[in-house]
A and B are shown apart, each in its own frame.
Chain A
Amino acid sequence: MRKLNKDVIYGIYSDEEVLLHAVRDARNRHLEIMDVFSPFPVHGLDQALGLTESRLHQAGFVYGAIGALIGFLGMTWMMTSDWPIIFGGKPYWPVPSFIPIVFEMTVLFSAWGMTITFYTICGLWPGVDNPQLDLRTTDDKFCIAFDRNEVPDEAARSFFAESGADEVNYKNI
């Protein structure tokens, strides 16, 4: 198990509506949330947490553009400069014929590039053993976690009590 060596206080919620209210409440109280864990993507949670929009799709565009260029320039070089051959009376540089392969290369590079980027920046790979606060957060529970060095226990406990948390726990991860 990878150790972050962080002392964490976390509250468990059983409904995503309650969770969303709690997250907004914590932000109003200026409590710095370490992380929120949920069994499925909760819509509106990223705005409530103030997370910036993911730039993954921009990366996807760049990867796709690279794929398209490799495909187009590669075929151009092979067919016009490296070994020009006339196929069926077509010109040496048959641009319309390139469309299918350029498209496939765009999709291939964009999809693989984005996926590899996603797993890398999230720190997710086979064999990685990320610390988990509570095993029930992949089942039916939602969890808000505070770093105990950032947020005093008293403030956290009163926040959890008032925002409808079912239970409050401590853990060193």
Chain B
Amino acid sequence: MSGGIVAPVRKPLVEGQKTYHQITEDLCAPTERTPSTAWVIAFILAASTMAFGVFCVLWTIWMGIGTWNLNRTIGWGYDITNFVWWIGIGHAGTLISAILMLFRQRWRTGVNRAAEAMTIFAVICAAIFPLIHVGRIWVVFYFFPYPNTRGALWPNFNSPLLWDVFAISTYFSVSLLFWYTGLVPDFATVRNRASGLRKKIYNSLSFGWTGSAKHWQRWESLSLVLAGLSTPLVLSVHTIVSFDFATSVIPGWHTTIFPPYFVAGAIFSGFAMVQTLMVLTRKILKLEEYITIEHIESMNKVILVTGTIVGVAYLTELFIAWYSGYVYEQFAFFNRAMGVYWWAYFGMMACNVISPQLFWVRKFRRSVFVTFFMSIFVNIGMWFERFVIIATTLARDYLPSSWSYYRPTWVEIGIFVGTIGLFFTCYLIFVRVAPVVAIAEVKHILKVGGDQYIGDKAHAEKSHEHQAAHHHEHH
């Protein structure tokens, strides 16, 4: 296989000595069997949580933003915290699919499909918050520069909030293209196993894909350029999100370190969410041979690195606040750690900086149990980080007479919980409809990584030899 030079000691990327046909069988199976009881229960839970979220969104739109506990001091609370949290989670999908593709990290094929799907769903969840937080969602199209009858009054192109509109819309649509283009050949695989109406539906979804050599050549060219475009795109998106806070004149929201720190944090939280999903998915769909412990360990290494970068960024912020000699900045950071929201700051530090250090130990990196709990901790920690940056900073501004406190109403909590329901509803539908692991891409890397693929006949011989060797060892 012309897949490059691979050290003979390198472990195979797919375990269990699969043939191409076996891969098709294994990866199509979840879309073909009737849903398990576990799936149905999970779906009902997710969908009812989502339904409550929909109710809370409608309540907000009907009654107005007054149903939230925002006030004149604290103009952003749960809404933007949740927005940044979800957008950050989305970044891991693009990182896995685009950046690891450019770096030729072949292990990404086991997890890229699900991670990209997660990106799409996370961005959908994120987009809800800016849309509803404007209060009058029916005129939300004012965001965009379109020729209008107000003298043609254009939006302010100097504003990071407008850059955000462009960044998030571009990010969502480009991620969708990238994800779907990867899915097209796999939908064709599912189609060719189906019959009747199912075949018709999958034929439509696969756009009539046949697997012609010229099509594959163009498909690879397209994938590579989309990866090349997505890589700076994903960095730009969270950079621009961080500009919402970095370019302001409020102490704590006036920070040049935010772009790299937000991007590292986004990758950190995104990989944690990928771990949460992968640990469950590989177990429930029995895909342990495709999403292996090696994958989990690799992703845990990324979590360790980005978590440590985030930790260094927190300390740098504190140092710079002190070093600046600017009392308002110093107060802002003293207030974060020791002020009214001290518990959020310590939650952030414990979950984001201290707990990932466990992953220096190989045993913990390779433990599914530790990984699962760690992924939850990291997501809680990253939520606190955004809450600290937003609510704590706003609660104590320049003028002590306007200092205030913020706690969410049931509506705000309901919308947040509802987006988690929406996310899992989408993911559960996705695992039923599309192959969770990219079939064509896994077949493509099968022969890379030792003499993994040995065909049907050789397979029997090899396992016979293996047994004999094993037998010999015992004597």
Binding site for B on A (CB under 8 A): 14-17, 35-46, 49, 51, 54, 56-57, 60, 64, 74-75, 78-79, 82-83, 85, 87-88, 90, 94, 97-98, 100-101, 103-105, 107-108, 110-112, 114-115, 118-119, 121-132, 135-140
Contacts of A35 in B (CB 8 A): 212-214
Size class of the contact patch on chain B: 35 or more
Flag whether B222 is at the interface (Cβ < 8 A): yes
Q: Contact check, A16 vs B1: say whether CB atoms are below 8 A apart.
A: yes
Q: Contact check, B20 vs A111: say whether CB atoms are below 8 A apart.
A: no
List 6 other contacts, CB 8 Å, given A39-B440, A107-B232: A39-B211, A54-B221, A83-B151, A83-B154, A87-B159, A94-B157
Q: Is the interface of B mostly helix, strand, loop or mixed?
A: helix
Contacts of B439 in A (CB 8 A): 39
Contacts of B163 in A (CB 8 A): 100-101, 104
Q: Contact check, B236 vs A103: say whether CB atoms are below 8 A apart.
A: yes
Q: Contact check, A37 vs B213: say whether CB atoms are below 8 A apart.
A: yes
Q: How far is the CA of A101 from the CA of B152 in the complex (A)?
A: 19
Q: Contact check, B210 vs A45: say whether CB atoms are below 8 A apart.
A: no
Q: Contact check, B1 vs A43: say whether CB atoms are below 8 A apart.
A: yes
A114 interface neighbour in B170, B226, B443, Cβ under 8 Å:
B226
Q: Contact check, B236 vs A100: say whether CB atoms are below 8 A apart.
A: yes
B207 interface neighbour in A40, A104, A108, A119, Cβ under 8 Å:
A119
- Which residues, 174 to 211 on B, are CB-close (under 8 Å) to A? 174, 177-178, 181, 184-185, 188-189, 191-193, 203-205, 207-211
Contacts of A39 in B (CB 8 A): 20, 24, 185, 189, 211, 439-440, 443
Contacts of B444 in A (CB 8 A): 40-41
Q: How far is the CA of A155 from the CA of B222 in the complex (A)?
A: 36
With A54-B221, A97-B158 in contact, do A104 and B203 touch (Cβ < 8 Å)?
A: no
Contacts of B243 in A (CB 8 A): 100
B1 interface neighbour in A17, A37, A60, A124, Cβ under 8 Å:
A17
B210 interface neighbour in A40, A126, A130, Cβ under 8 Å:
A130
Contacts of A122 in B (CB 8 A): 212, 214-215, 218
Contacts of B219 in A (CB 8 A): 41, 118
For residue A108, which residue of chain B has the nearest CB? B170
With A36-B212, A83-B152, A129-B208 in contact, do A139 and B20 touch (Cβ < 8 Å)?
A: yes
Contacts of B177 in A (CB 8 A): 111-112, 115
Contacts of B218 in A (CB 8 A): 54, 56, 118, 121-122
Contacts of A37 in B (CB 8 A): 210-213
With A124-B184, A138-B185, A140-B21 in contact, do A114 and B222 touch (Cβ < 8 Å)?
A: yes
Contacts of B207 in A (CB 8 A): 119, 124-126, 128
For residue B442, which residue of chain A has the nearest CB? A40
Flag whether B408 is at the interface (Cβ < 8 A): no
Flag whether B105 is at the interface (Cβ < 8 A): no
Contacts of B351 in A (CB 8 A): none
CB proximity of A147 to chain B, nearest CB, Å: 14
A104 interface neighbour in B3, B156, B214, B236, Cβ under 8 Å:
B236
Q: Contact check, B222 vs A115: say whether CB atoms are below 8 A apart.
A: yes
Q: List 20 A-B contacts (CB under 8 A).
A: A16-B1, A35-B212, A37-B211, A39-B211, A40-B441, A41-B217, A83-B153, A85-B156, A87-B158, A90-B158, A94-B157, A100-B167, A101-B162, A114-B225, A115-B177, A118-B219, A122-B214, A125-B208, A135-B193, A139-B21
Q: Contact check, A108 vs B174: say whether CB atoms are below 8 A apart.
A: yes
Q: Contact check, B215 vs A124: say whether CB atoms are below 8 A apart.
A: yes
CB proximity of A67 to chain B, nearest CB, Å: 10
Which 8 A-B residue pairs are closest in the complex by CB-CB distance?
A140-B20, A128-B208, A124-B207, A130-B208, A100-B163, A140-B21, A41-B216, A135-B192
Q: How far is the CA of A17 from the CA of B145 in the complex (A)?
A: 54
Q: Contact check, A118 vs B189: say whether CB atoms are below 8 A apart.
A: no
With A56-B222, A115-B222 in contact, do A44 and B2 touch (Cβ < 8 Å)?
A: yes
Contacts of A88 in B (CB 8 A): 158
Q: Contact check, B166 vs A100: say whether CB atoms are below 8 A apart.
A: yes
Q: Contact check, B212 vs A107: say whether CB atoms are below 8 A apart.
A: no
CB proximity of A53 to chain B, nearest CB, Å: 8
Contacts of B170 in A (CB 8 A): 104-105, 107-108
Contacts of B152 in A (CB 8 A): 78, 82-83
CB proximity of B25 to chain A, nearest CB, Å: 9
Contacts of B204 in A (CB 8 A): 126-127
Q: Contact check, B174 vs A107: say whether CB atoms are below 8 A apart.
A: yes
For residue A144, which residue of chain B has the nearest CB? B213
Contacts of B465 in A (CB 8 A): none
CB proximity of A31 to chain B, nearest CB, Å: 15
Q: How far is the CA of A135 from the CA of B177 in the complex (A)?
A: 26
Q: How far is the CA of A75 from the CA of B154 in the complex (A)?
A: 9
Flag whether B220 is at the interface (Cβ < 8 A): yes
CB proximity of B180 to chain A, nearest CB, Å: 9
CB proximity of A48 to chain B, nearest CB, Å: 9
Contacts of B24 in A (CB 8 A): 39, 139-140
Contacts of A132 in B (CB 8 A): 192, 210
- Which residues, 367 to 414 on B, are CB-close (under 8 Å) to A? none
A118 interface neighbour in B162, B174, B185, B222, Cβ under 8 Å:
B222
Contacts of A138 in B (CB 8 A): 185, 188-189, 191-192, 209, 211
B145 interface neighbour in A38, A78, A107, A137, Cβ under 8 Å:
A78
With A108-B174, A118-B222 in contact, do A54 and B217 touch (Cβ < 8 Å)?
A: yes
Contacts of A17 in B (CB 8 A): 1
Flag whether B240 is at the interface (Cβ < 8 A): yes
Q: Contact check, A98 vs B157: say whether CB atoms are below 8 A apart.
A: yes
CB proximity of B220 to chain A, nearest CB, Å: 5
